[in-house]
Amino acid sequence: MAAFWNKPVLLCLTLSAILSLCSVLSTAEFQQFEQDPKADGSLSFLVVGDWGRRGGFNQSEVAVQMGIIGEKLDIDFVISTGDNFYDGGLKGVDDPAFDESFTNIYTAPSLQKQWYNVLGNHDYRGDVMAQLSPILTKLDSRWLCLRSFILNAEIVEFFFVDTTPFVDKYFKDPKDDVYDWRGVLPRKQYLSNILKDLDLALKESSAKWKIVVGHHTIRSAGQHGNTNELVLQLLPILEENNVDLYINGHDHCLEHISSPHSRIQFLTSGGGSKAWRGDVDWRNPEEMKFFYDGQGFMSVQITQTRVDIAFYDVFGNVLHTWDTSKQLYAAA
């Protein structure tokens, strides 16, 4: 499949525009959207993952703190790293879980911004097409969920990747779980399209910063650990194309892993609700910058020359911060 790009669309998407986008989902792995930065060119956003439990397991408490930090940072949008609705995704577009786990939970004024969502493995256990449906956007205009897509915010470009179909065990040994693979089969061709289109998009990007978002881990010390299929297939593309951050969920923790052998920072924000699994396994303490086994979320602030990240717990306490800078080159 050749790489597909539609003309950039504004965030104030009409229902007809969303419907038009969905009509081409079967023929394009990536859609492209635009996000305006602030007047000074900066951007700020929150990241939360593995959250949809009707407010339970401290989901509501995390949401409150997200609202407080979101107002303080004047965030532009929110990213969800997937597993949006437990335990088995949505049953349909009329599933009350959409309101009970999303609309009625994230009620703070600062969170009434665009939400960019990817699918997690639990979402694939329900009606996947429901989460992708424009009907949900009509019910709550914040909601935008696609399999893989690109968000261009001028100084930074985000590449959202559908990681669940990469994982072999969901196909070969699903146990009692039933997955909705509509739009994914034949799998080999689907994955080939994602990798090819992502590689091309990264090569064509002129953004100062490049951030890739997926549900599954690449590097993690949590319960699920590294996702070997992504280490083998996705990571080489990210490294070759100078990606700055890989942001994921899946492990129900907050985490920052760095390596002297790679420029990529591996950031896990999967503490949106149920956490405290109690298992940590990382053999290189120099690479493990931060690990927290509880609930919380992450913030990111970006300018032309600097990225600042922070992790927060369920009380809004700052657990870990990190920053990096790039030199700003004047135009010739």
Residue 117 has pLDDT above 70, yes or no: yes
For the question of residue 215 being annotated catalytic, the response is no
The predicted-structure confidence for 79-97, as pLDDT tens digits, reads as follows 999 999 999 999 999 999 9
Which residue shows structure tokens 């091309």?
A: 200
Q: What is the pLDDT of residues 297-332, one digit of tens each?
A: 999 999 999 999 999 999 999 999 999 999 876 544
Are the CB atoms for 268 and 253 separated by under 8 Å?
yes
Q: What is the pTM of this model?
A: 0.91
The reported pLDDT for the residue numbered 29 is: 57
> What is the rounded distance in angstroms from the CA atom of residue 128 to the CA atom of residue 165?
12
Average predicted confidence (pLDDT) for the chain: 91
**Residue 247 to residues 62, 243, 256, Cα–Cα distance (Å):** 19, 11, 10
Q: Which residue has the higher pLDDT, 215 or 28?
A: 215
pLDDT on residue 286: 87
Q: Is the CB of residue 35 less than 8 Å from the CB of residue 76?
A: yes
Any idea of the CA torsion for 201, 203, 205, 207, to the nearest 10 degrees?
A: 130
pLDDT-derived band at 26, boundaries 50, 70, 90 = very low
Other beta carbons within 10 Å of 83:
30
Q: Which of 122, 216, 224, 252 is catalytic?
A: 224
